[in-house]
A and B are shown apart, each in its own frame.
Chain A
Amino acid sequence: MNMALHILVFGALSDITGTAGISWPGVEDTDTLRRQLSVQYPQLATIGYRLAVNKQLVAHNLPLADGMEIALLPPFSGG
């Protein structure tokens, strides 16, 4: 799989990754992505986050494809 994913990182998570956007080698699904992220950034476990793919929250394992917009969303704190 040659695709690369661009992942948007929001809120407190950007303090952990050090940036608001990270490039990541393509993976087959969101469960795999989460596992890889937790290895690269163990501190992610301290905050907890949800994944959005193409601006929709993802509750279950979702296959990933080239061009999908992925975002890591910590708990919301608007208002």
Chain B
Amino acid sequence: MKDIFIDGPVPPAMIAESIQQHSRKLNIGAHSIFLGQVRNDQVDDATVTAIEYTTYKEMALQQMHVIREHIITKYQLTCMHVYHSVGVVQAGEICLFVFTSSPHRKAAIAACEETVERMKAELPIWGKEQLSNASIQWKQNS
């Protein structure tokens, strides 16, 4: 089972490397990439400076496997790569990287969007927001 979790932020170089690695797969016509970045949300008089992510890892990996298999089949993807941060990610850094590849663009784009939505809804991952006034707040997805 693939481990989607990496410690800390997704380094920008990882995205470039993923693109480079896929140039060998000559049946791919489209990649769709989603990047989630930690945003400096305003909370009263403070701002979010970082998010600390935790996960129920074994359950998350099991559920991600279900999501992956479903979406690869549904959209006939060539491949899919997903990375989610655990630990602290500063505002401005990347915490989620979803990369879907297909012979054609519509499948890649639709698959990427559906993957992001399903991950946010179905994976046991939690974010604890660190605020500029040294307090914390648990993130709530919308």
Contact = CB atoms under 8 A, between A and B. Distances in A.
Contact of A75 (B36, B84, B141): B141
B125 A76 contact: yes
A10 B120 CA distance: 16
Contacts of A23: none
Interface string B99-140: 000000000000000001001111111111000000000111
B89 to A, nearest CB: 11
B96 interface: yes
Interface in B14-38: 36
A11 B141 contact: no
Given A10-B54, A52-B59, A73-B56, A79 B124 contact: no
A12 interface: yes
Nearest to B59: A55
A8 interface: yes
A78 B128 CA distance: 10
B138 A77 contact: yes
B59 A11 contact: no
A74 interface: yes
Interface of A: 8, 10-12, 52, 55, 71, 73-79
